[in-house]
């Protein structure tokens, strides 16, 4: 009996509602590159969690994320 065949599958849809996605999955979902994602992480525009060595993004945060948000934050601060 193979346990992998009997394990319930966790779909991407479920992880976007309740779980986490990886940086590469977020790149595929938002059609942007790793550099854009990591720049937004560094600027604080994207909140992440570290699980060991891997970087994970909460599903609801990933859904609401707009690539390049760091630029829009900077422009909003300049207009004040």
pLDDT value of residue 76: 53
pLDDT value of residue 9: 82
Domains of the chain, by residue range, sit at 10-67
CA–CA gap between residue 3 and residue 32 (Å, rounded): 36
Name the nearest CA neighbour of 47 among 27, 62, 66, 30.
62
pLDDT value of residue 59: 95
pLDDT tens digit at each of 80 positions of the chain: 555 666 678 888 889 999 999 999 999 999 999 999 999 999 999 999 999 999 999 999 999 999 987 776 555 555 55
User: What burial letters (b/e) apply to 30-62, b meaning 16+ CB within 10 Å?
Assistant: bebeeebbebbbeeebbebeeeeeebbbbbebb
Tokens of residue 5, six digits? 């065949």
CA–CA gap between residue 16 and residue 75 (Å, rounded): 29
pLDDT value of residue 12: 86
């Amino acid at each position: 009996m193979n346990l992998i065949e009997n394990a319930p599958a966790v779909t991407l849809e479920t992880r976007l509602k309740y779980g986490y996605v990886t940086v590469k999955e977020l790149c595929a979902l938002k059609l942007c590159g790793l550099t854009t994602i990591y720049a937004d992480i560094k600027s604080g525009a994207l909140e992440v969690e570290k699980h060991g060595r891997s970087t994970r993004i909460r599903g609801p945060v990933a859904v609401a994320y707009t690539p390049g948000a760091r630029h829009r934050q900077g422009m909003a601060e300049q207009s004040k």
